[in-house]
Structure 1
Amino acid sequence: SCEYRCVGRVRGLGIRHAITQGATWIACTDADTVVTTDWLLQQIAHITQQSTDMICGVVSIDDWTNLSPQTRHDYVAHYQDKMGHRHIHGANLSFSSRAYLAVGGFSLLPCHEDVDLVKKFETQGYAITWSNRVRVITSSRVNGRVNDGFAAFLSNLEQSNL
């Protein structure tokens, strides 16, 4: 338990605790997100089929009723739900603990700590799998805890359609 107001610091604290308990693979999601029943199995399949240090998965929206049809259309037109996509979501990010520690872990950032971590993996030459088989369902809320997270992205998209 902690009272940090910095998502990078909170994620880092939890992950380092898991690693001290022996975790070798870390799978991250968010409190307003539900993982699919095969979420971990799909990760294991990627790990065993190819050498990978990180998996960036995709998100599906749980409920579009609080957003306009145009926002849904714009989102679907923008989002690349395919293998090789380049979307980064802290709600669907997994990696080896060895590589995580080697790159220095999550930076102490209030937002985009996930993007920063992926850039560290890329810069240091770690293998990243961009998978649409590793999937989560996330909230369509437009009021988030951070200013530039996924909720803000949806909110900005909705505002541009009003």
Structure 2
Amino acid sequence: MSVPPAAVAVIVPAHQEGASLPATLHSLRAAARHPEAAAVPVLVVVVADACTDGTAAVAQDAGALVVRESFRNVGRARASGARAALRRLAAYGEGLWLATTDADTVVPPRWLAHQLRHAGQGWECVVGTVRLAPHPPLSAATAARHDAHYFAQRPPGRGTWRHPHVHGANLGVAAGAYTAAGGFPPLAHSEDRALVAALDRAGRRVLRTDGCPVLTSGRGDSRAPHGFGSFLGALGGM
């Protein structure tokens, strides 16, 4: 994709996220209103996966496209959201940009503008980073251990950090590259890493950047087995 995308779909998989989802959706609305993104149509797709709480109602009330599934599988949920977006925005063809985040994550106001700018520079995938939000069970010691591990390879000063991380909470990919790579695989965890690995193998232009981190929950009760919350729990001190 060598020109700025003509439309954006934001995919948000959610399992029992009625309490945290409003903050996520509020942040996405702010990102869609950013001056550098406001001219581009933005569709938010919430995949309510095996939800028995108010997740779907919260998403619908916020104007999101709601896809109800019963997978209990984050890879299948993200893929379902992407399929729904590709169908709904089919008129945009390869001019569609697919962004993904999580239902316990708050994106900064320039998040979509950041991805759109890099897409306009020819990048076909933007792989971002996260920061931990305070969460009552998260101890200072666990947060410190996380940061020591997470930033271990970051260069000192203000040098560019082509980081090694992949987060579905902060990811964007051109629709054509996504489709050619086979999309998100049906994995219970690490579906985001598998997609980026497929893009790398295909020789796609993948940018790893710490330029626009998102704020993600520091909770240890992971919604996905072996997901980020499980990693925090394994660090101890929770």
Cα separation, 1, equivalents of 2:139 and 2:74:
29
Task: Choose which of 132, 135, 143 in structure 2 pairs with 1:61.
Answer: 132
Please, what TM-score do these two structures have when normalized by structure 1? 0.91
Contact 2:135 2:219 in 1 (8 A): no
* Higher mean C-alpha deviation, range 19-28 or range 110-119: 19-28
Task: Tell me which residue corresponds to 1:41.
Answer: 113
Aligned residues: 159
* Higher mean C-alpha deviation, range 3-12 or range 93-102: 3-12
Contact 2:69 2:77 in 1 (8 A): yes
Larger radius of gyration: 2
> Over the residues paired in the alignment, what is the CA RMSD in angstroms?
1.6
Runs of 4+ in 1 over 6 A off after TM superposition: none
SS at match of 1:84: coil
Task: Tell me which residue corresponds to 2:181.
Answer: 103
* Higher mean C-alpha deviation, range 19-28 or range 75-84: 75-84
Contact 2:119 2:125 in 1 (8 A): no
Task: Choose which of 154, 162, 181 in structure 2 pairs with 1:84.
Answer: 162
Query: How far 1:83 sits from its partner (Å)?
Result: 2.9
Query: How far 1:145 sits from its partner (Å)?
Result: 1.8
* Higher mean C-alpha deviation, range 19-28 or range 80-89: 80-89
Task: Tell me which residue corresponds to 2:227.
Answer: 149
Where structure 2 has 5 or more consecutive residues not aligned to the other structure, the ranges are 1-67, 155-159
Higher normalized contact order (CA 8 Å, seq sep 6+, divided by chain length) = 1
Cα separation, 2, equivalents of 1:30 and 1:64:
16
Cα separation, 2, equivalents of 1:55 and 1:134:
10
Higher helix share: 1
Cα separation, 2, equivalents of 1:101 and 1:92:
19
